[in-house]
Amino acid sequence: MTTTRDATAPGLARLAGLIADETRAACLLALLDGRAWTAGELARHAGVAASTLSEHLGKLVAGGLLAEERQGRHRYVRLADARVAQLVEELAAQVAPGDAARRPRTLREAGAGAAMARGRTCYDHLAGRLGIAVTDAFTARGLLRQDTGFALTDAGLDWFDRAGIRLVRTGRRPLARACLDWTERRPHLAGVAGAALCRHALDTGWCVRIGSERAVKVTAAGEEALSGLLGIDPVALR
Determine the pLDDT at residue 23: 94
Q: Which of 9-18, 35-44, 85-94, 192-201 has the highest mean pLDDT?
A: 192-201
CATH of 9-80, one of 3.40.47.10, 1.10.30.50, 1.10.357.10, 1.10.10.10: 1.10.10.10
Region 177-194 average pLDDT? 90
Q: Can you state the angle between helices 50-62 and 39-46, rounded to 10 degrees?
A: 110
Predicted confidence band at 146 (pLDDT cuts at 50, 70, 90)?
very high
Mean residue pLDDT of the chain comes to 87
pTM of structure:
0.75
Is a pLDDT exceeding 70 seen at residue 97?
A: no
Instruction: Delimit the CATH 1.10.10.10 region(s) of the chain.
Output: 9-80
Residue-level pLDDT at 33: 82
* pLDDT per residue as tens digits for the range 56-79: 999 999 999 999 988 877 889 999
